[in-house]
Amino acid sequence: MSAAPAIPAVPAVPTAFAALFTPYTLRSVTAPNRLWMAAMCQYSAEPSGPAAGVAHDWHFAHYAARAAGGTGLIVQEATAVSPEGRISPYDLGIWNDTQVEALRRITSFLKSQGTVPGIQLAHAGRKASTDRTWKGGAPVGPDAHGWRPVAPSAVPFAEGHPVPHELTVDQIHEITGQFAAAARRSLAAGYEVVEIHGAHGYLIGEFLSPHSNRRTDSYGGSVENRTRFALEVVDAVRAVWPEELPLFFRISATDWLQKDGWTADETVRLARTLQEHGVDLLDVSTGGLAPGVTIPVEPGYQVPFAARVKAETTLPVAAVGLITEPRQAEKILADGEADAVLLGRELLRDPYFARRAAVELGGQPRTPEQYHRSW
């Protein structure tokens, strides 16, 4: 009888075989690699009733697959700090303890796979109360579980969108408190990273940009005033978020507007201030504030904005935006343009991208014990 064919041995992982697969530590938390998952809404929670905003089997399966696939850190989708802060009625929330209990199942599994669990805390502002994206994303009213959005100014997002309620100063302070309460619940739910969502034209971004912020009080006008709400939210969250755990801030580095928009120069300036207020990493995206804006979309089109923050400040940054290939991601890190990369749609297409990337870059993927036979 002929001998069984030899099975090639899985190569050992060379030490630091790729920048993408070197661990990264912020405060007391170490991600096993620098290939992370960006927050992406699933629009799959119940819209009303006792289960409103509560994670269920879809959310568990979605995040569990990416953790088993080797993703180093997962930032959970925009999770609303209040019912009115949801982008759609179908968003996840973290404004009550029922939601916390359901999220513990997710964070526990992520940790079991060596993945750092993060959560993005969000308020949608004037872009709230819309339908799910695959149904067009149009505004919805009370007959479809909707509500009237709020904003820094009574300026609608686009034609056909409702005029939002202009927040009073007391209401601004109330929302700041909701972010802090959500951070406390995030800790109880088992998250090790909190990311404050200040990008894509949602509430904090609406305060930052003069295009959407027409206020004449202490929250509008100058850069100092327009950044006031963002910094108050950061301070409120940092005050209740443990000193040993990292805090991220997601920003749109530019609105891509020709005039009267938030700019890259202002992003660099704010990055320095955010670091002074206890932010540990800036997640650098762009756009989302206004519709119909021309954006030069191409592979890695947002990376230069992250690279500029990294070059001109000491705040760590993560790059995002059409990063779809392992060698592309590796080059961003090797060239010093970012400290980590965040993948969005590519991880929707391929939950096991991290495994594929490890092999392509010459190493052995981080694999659950149950799957070791596959290697």
Instruction: Tell me how far apart the alpha carbons of residues 239 and 251 are, in angstroms, rounded to a whole number.
Output: 21
- DSSP character string of 8-75: PPPPP--TT--GGGS-EEETTEEESSSEEEPP-----SBSSSTTBT---HHHHHHHHHHHHTT-SEEE
Q: What is the set of active-site residues?
A: 202
| DSSP category for residue 139 | B
Q: How far apart are CA 305 and CA 338, in angstroms?
A: 10
Report the 3 state secondary structure along 66-109. HHHCCCCEEEEEEEECCHHHCCCCCCCECCCHHHHHHHHHHHHH
The answer to whether residues 54 and 102 touch, using CB atoms and an 8 Å cutoff, is yes
Task: Give yes or no for a contact between 289 and 257, defined as CB atoms under 8 angstroms apart.
Answer: yes
Residues with Cβ within 8 Å of 246's Cβ and at least 6 positions away in sequence, in order, are 26, 27, 29, 192, 193, 280, 281
> Distance between CA atoms of 316 and 279, rounded to whole angstroms?
9
Alpha-carbon span 91 to 78, nearest angstrom: 8
CB 148 within 8 A of CB 164: yes
